[in-house]
Structure 1
């Protein structure tokens, strides 16, 4: 899985925590512990899909533009990371005569697709609001 998913969830939870406050990419980056350019890339994707609104220029930043209890982690995963469970490396070669080598890539594709389906089903059960609730519970301890 790539880090865009984590950056997106973290950013949305941060904005949900402060729904009436605009956050700059620098402020979000500091909170996420990553470079502001990476945050801007992810926020542009979230903005394009309507999850956040943005105001450019001095005094600008990002504002939550969705109901945190309606946005599932599965939606954010599909947006940022779909297909990332499968590694870039591919085993097997269809041209080889070995039964294992010529069928392994296809079998592994099915296994990774099944694993990703389970991951999406799991993420479907949690919303941005659920993650914020868990953060608040951890902070209260």
Structure 2
């Protein structure tokens, strides 16, 4: 899994928490603890998919343009990170003489695909609003 998914979910939860306010990439980046350029990259994907809108100029920034009670984490994972569970490199070589080396890449690709599908099944069951509620519960436990 890559960090874009985490940045996207964090940003959407932040915007859901403050629905009547826009948030700049700098504000979101400070909350996420990353660079504003990374936030802008992720937010451009979310905007393209219709999850956020932007307003230019003074008082501008990002606003939520979706219903956080309807958007699933699976949707956000698909938009930002599909395929990222598979590493960029796998052991073995299809040209080798060894049965293990020749087939390991294909076998591992299947395992990673199956793992991602199972993870997506789980993520489809959770909405952005539920993540916000979990944050609120953790906050109450800290007080």
Q: What is the Cα deviation at residue 120 of structure 1?
A: 0.4
RMSD (CA atoms) = 0.7
What is the distance in 2 between the residues matched to 1:52 and 1:27? Answer: 15
Question: Which residue is equivalent to 1:104?
Answer: 104
The equivalent residue for 1:83 is: 83
User: Aligned partners of 1:94 and 1:62: how far apart in 2?
Assistant: 47
Match of 2:138 in 1: 138
1:12-39, Cα deviation, whole Å (9 max, x unpaired): 0000000011111110000000000100
Give the alignment's TM-score, normalised by structure 1.
Answer: 0.98
Q: C-alpha deviations, 1:19-70, integer Å up to 9, x for none?
A: 0111111100000000001001111110111000101222210000000011
Following TM superposition, by how much is the alpha carbon of 1:102 offset from its aligned partner in structure 2, in angstroms?
0.5
CA distance in 2, matches of 1:114, 1:23: 37
Cα deviation, residue 97, structure 1: 1.0
Gaps of 5+ in 2: none
Q: What are structure 1's unaligned runs of at least 5 residues?
A: none
User: Is structure 2 residue 2 aligned with structure 1 residue 2?
Assistant: yes
Counterpart check, 1:24 vs 2:24: yes
Helix, strand or coil: the match of 2:54? Answer: strand
Give the whole-Å Cα distance in 2 for the aligned partners of 1:69 and 1:58: 29
Question: Cα offset for 1:92?
Answer: 1.4
The CA distance in 2 between the partners of 1:90 and 1:136, in whole Å, is 41
Aligned residues: 141
Q: C-alpha displacement at 1:117, in angstroms?
A: 0.6
Please state if 1:34 is matched with 2:34. Answer: yes
SS at match of 2:76: helix
3-state SS of paired residue (2:69): coil
